Each structure stands twice: as C-alpha cells, then as structure tokens.
Structure 1
C-alpha cells in the first residue's frame, strides 16, 4: 500500500515522537469516528504543563484537542496522550493543528467533522467563534509586541524560524485573502470591541482562547478585557473536561 504524499512529506520532515503513558488510553479510539482510521494523533506547535496535564500552547489546537477528548469520551491524562509536537513546516498546510491518521486533516477539515455532531444552536455559536476567535488570534499576533521568547513558548520556533512563521500567519484562516488591505491596528480595535460582547459566553472554544491568552499573552490588550471571573470560569471548563 503506497503511503500518501502528504504523509511522506510529514514523516520525512521530522521524526515524530508520540509520548505515551502506558497506564492511560494513548489514542483517539473514537466510537463516533472523526476519521475512518485509528489511532488518531493531533499534531501541534508546542505543549505546556497545567497542573498534571500536558496541553497545546495555541488556542486553536487547545480547543480542538479538548473537543476531540470530549468527543471520544477520553480523560485528559498526565501525558500528552494523542498529541505530538511537529514543526509548522512539517504540515502540508504550513500551519497546525493537523490530525494524523491514515491521511492528514487540516484544521478546517477537523472543525467540519466535529461540527457534524453539534446541535443547531451550538453549531452556530461555534461557527461564529471559529471565525471571530481565529481572526482575533491572528491580528493579535500581527499587532501586539510579542518577543521571540514568547513565540518560542507558544510555537516552538526560534531565531530565523520566527520570521518564517510570521510570514505564514496572515495566510491562516484565509485571513489575507479576506482582508487584503486592512489597517491592522484599527481592525484590532474593532475586534477588541466585539470581543467585549462575547467574552462571557460559556463555550469550550472561548475558554481555550482565554486560557492561552492568560498563560502566554497576559500583557496584551485582549488580556486586559478579560474579567477575573471569566478567567476562573475558563479553567473550570478545562477541569470539567478532565
């Protein structure tokens, strides 16, 4: 059986090391399959430790990971179960997360598969947040003064790789295609005003975003808009997922 070209590119680019805990489930063995193959592994930029948990360091990957855990009726463990860190250049899309099974699925495909299981109201809320939060995340990275050490902590990149990553960020979520002539600073202010209207929504995706901002970007304008009680609620949502 021939290995698909995207997988060949991925495995040739970096030796994958999947960290497993032999005492826990170490794959997304899904009773409601998101893909036709198991095991499934989520490829992410980097990970961080929260209490005994190992979690992705960017909000898109964190929300995706937690939703996969939920959908597969798994428990978050003390190891990076179902996670592997890979360079963003190792992805066929030059962005992460990706879902690795017998093929490689982009974040767009992952979101489509997960959203099939949503009720109508939840579907529209998540679709709204997929766009709003992803765009806000991109604008934040482009506008805020973020040092290289923070980029390393979030994305696992350093030195010249930071420049390469920054050149890819405007391409995420078709951002540059949809907003080719934006004044980014003005757009950021508009996004921040909108953020005030939905920051208190009770939602896993929003909680993931707030946790990452709190963990890695507490100096940003976004962080200053998040009430303390919302931060606390976001961590409660995380803990409930476990």
Structure 2
C-alpha cells in the first residue's frame, strides 16, 4: 500500500468534517413535481372501488384533444403508448384522463424521460402497492399481452394475430421512421423537453441529439433494418 504524502494529509486535515442528514426519498417539492407530470384516468362508474394498488403508464409526453363527448382529453404523444393506454382502459374499466375529471381514479398516465426505463424505452408500467414498486418495460408488457391473449387461446382468429403484430412491430417501426425524419422543432410536442432549455441552444441540442442516438436502437430497430442505415450513411458520405 502507498502512504499518503504528508503535505497532502495536512491539507485534508485542515478541512472540518461535516455530517449531513440523510436525504429523504420524497419531499414536498418532489411530490409536487411528480404530480404535475401525472394525468389521472377516470373511473367508468361513480361507484368503482379504489384499491391500495395503483399504476402509472410512463410515456414520452401527452397531447390534448377534443373527444366526441365534447370533453378535452389527454392521450400519449406516440402511437405505441396510446395503444397501451387504451388496453389499460379496457382491462381496468377506465376512461382516458380529462381536463376536468369528476371521477378520478388512482391510476395515471405520467410524463417521464426514457432514461427512467431500465432499457431506455417507453412506455413503462409502474405498479405500486403498499409494500413494493415494480417497473415493467414495454417488452415485458407486450410479452404479458401475448401470453394472456394468444398462447392461452390459440384458436383466436389469424386476422387478430396479424393485427397484433402490426400494432406491436409495424406501427412501431413506422413511428421510428417518422421520428428519424421529423423536424426537430416538433420534438417539444413529442417529448417532454424542459422549457428552460429553450434559453440555451447548446443544451437543447445536446438533449435532442441524445434522443436521436437512442431512437434507432428502440426495439432493435437498427439491427432489424441494417440496409436502411447503410443507405443513409452512404448518402451522408457522398454529400
């Protein structure tokens, strides 16, 4: 082992040692920030019983639209998350979040960064109860849907299987292609980018470049479509 030089030891000995209190897992400011990111599903019926367990669907961003009933509703900004939100509504007898909810459930859609996901892909399903919290990735969600609907019921119509594949993969690939060709000015609508970054072109560019660098790897898009990227690199090299 090496000895610490005496001069260095004296330098560090001159600084007083301070013990700081532990940082709590949640604070009032942190809770308020999280609530601002949440949009709560509505119960279909006024008499629906709330439970101690709840879930949040973590998505890139939400957009507002006017439903057929005239109410302003919130939906995820990407088609894959929208599909999962509708599945959750159907299975849990819920309605999409509205701007003026009168029968709010304990379950929500929540804006999060894709860095919050273990595999850096959204949506994620965050399941909470009194004892634990579980984060399920999109791959886990899709696998669960497949097992519960297709492996248990192999007699389902082949057309339904094709439709499921279209939503899970083809629609996803189409969305990734759109993202890779999207005007960066629209990224604020698709992703929840902090508005404070508008004050710094460099900081915002770094965030957007980080998104671009991850997008092509979602659901192994680049691995499954190597020729597309070979062609793009060829075009860039000839310009």
TM-score computed with the length of structure 2 as normaliser: 0.59
State the match for 1:83 in structure 2: 109
Contact in 2 for aligned 1:58/1:155 (Cα 8 Å): no
User: Which structure dedicates a bigger proportion of its chain to strand?
Assistant: 2
Q: Report the Cα offset of residue 150 of structure 1.
A: 0.7
Q: 1-side partners of 2:40 and 2:169: how far apart?
A: 35
Give the aligned length: 163
- 1:172 is aligned to 2:190: no
> Which of the two has higher C-alpha Rg?
2
Deviations along 1:19-50, one digit per CA (max 9) or x if unpaired, are 3669x449xxx9xxxxxx93111011111111
Asked if 1:182 is matched to 2:220, the reply is: no
2:142 match: secondary structure: helix
Q: RMSD of the alignment, in Å?
A: 3.2
Q: 1:156 matched to which residue of 2?
A: 192
The aligned runs of 1:1-242 (5 Å cut-off) are: 16-17=34-35, 19=38, 24-25=42-43, 38-51=53-66, 52-79=72-99, 82-101=108-127, 102-115=133-146, 116-117=148-149, 120-121=156-157, 122-142=160-180, 144=181, 146-157=182-193, 159=204, 160-179=206-225, 181-184=226-229
Q: Distance in 1 between matches of 2:53 and 2:98?
A: 21
* CA spacing shift, 1:20–1:167, aligned 2, 3 Å: closer
Give the superposition deviation at 1:117.
Answer: 3.0
**Residue segments in structure 1 that go unaligned for 5+ positions in a row:** 1-7, 31-36, 188-242
Contact 1:40–1:82 (CA under 8 A) maintained in structure 2 = yes
Structure 2 residue runs without a partner (length 5+): 1-24, 67-71, 102-106, 128-132, 198-203, 233-239
Q: Secondary structure at the match of 1:137?
A: helix
Please give the TM-score of this superposition, normalised by the length of structure 1. Answer: 0.58
Distance in structure 1 (CA, Å) of the matches to 2:39 and 2:176 = 31
* 1:197 alignment partner in structure 2: none
